[in-house]
Amino acid sequence: MDMLANTGVGVAGGRRAAGLAGAPWTARRVLSSGKNAVQRYLACLLLFAVCSFSSLFPGNFPVIVPANASDTPTTLDDLVRQLAERVAAIPNLRGPLRVQYFEDGALAFETGNEWKETFGKALEKAHVGVTDDSAANLLRVGVAETPTDVVLSAGVHLGEREEVRFVTLPRTAFHAASAPVVPVRIEKQLVLRSVDRVLDASVYGSAGDGGYLVLGYRGTDLSVMKTDAAGTIQQIASLSTAGVKASRDYRGEVAADSGEAKITLPEKGCQVGWATAGDTKCRPAKATWRMPVVLVAPCGGVRWKVEADGADWSQSDLLQVVPEGELSKGSSALLSDFAGPILNISGSESRSAALVVTRNLRTGSYEVYKVTLACGN
Domains of the chain in start order, with CATH, are 12-38+184-375 (no CATH), 45-176 (3.30.2130)
**How far is the C-alpha of 126 from the C-alpha of 65, rounded, in Å?**
18
- Count the Cβ atoms, other than its own, within 10 Å of residue 360: 16
pTM, 2 dp: 0.56
**How far is the C-alpha of 107 from the C-alpha of 37, rounded, in Å?**
14
- 86 close to 165: Cβ distance less than 8 angstroms: yes
Q: What is the pLDDT along the chain (377 residues), one digit of tens a residue?
A: 433 333 332 222 332 233 333 344 554 433 333 333 333 333 343 344 444 434 433 334 344 444 443 455 567 788 888 999 999 999 888 878 989 887 765 555 456 677 888 888 899 899 898 888 888 889 999 887 777 777 888 989 887 788 888 888 787 766 554 444 457 888 999 999 999 999 999 999 876 678 999 999 988 899 999 999 888 889 999 998 888 887 888 899 999 998 899 999 998 999 999 887 778 999 999 999 999 999 988 877 778 889 887 667 788 888 888 877 654 444 456 778 899 999 999 998 889 999 999 999 999 999 999 999 988 76
Please name the residues in contact with 312: beta carbons below 8 A apart, sequence gap of 6 or more. 341
* 195: three-class secondary structure by DSSP: coil
**How far is the C-alpha of 166 from the C-alpha of 49, rounded, in Å?**
10
- Count the Cβ atoms, other than its own, within 10 Å of residue 288: 9
Name the β-bridge partners of 187: 372
- 64 close to 78: Cβ distance less than 8 angstroms: no
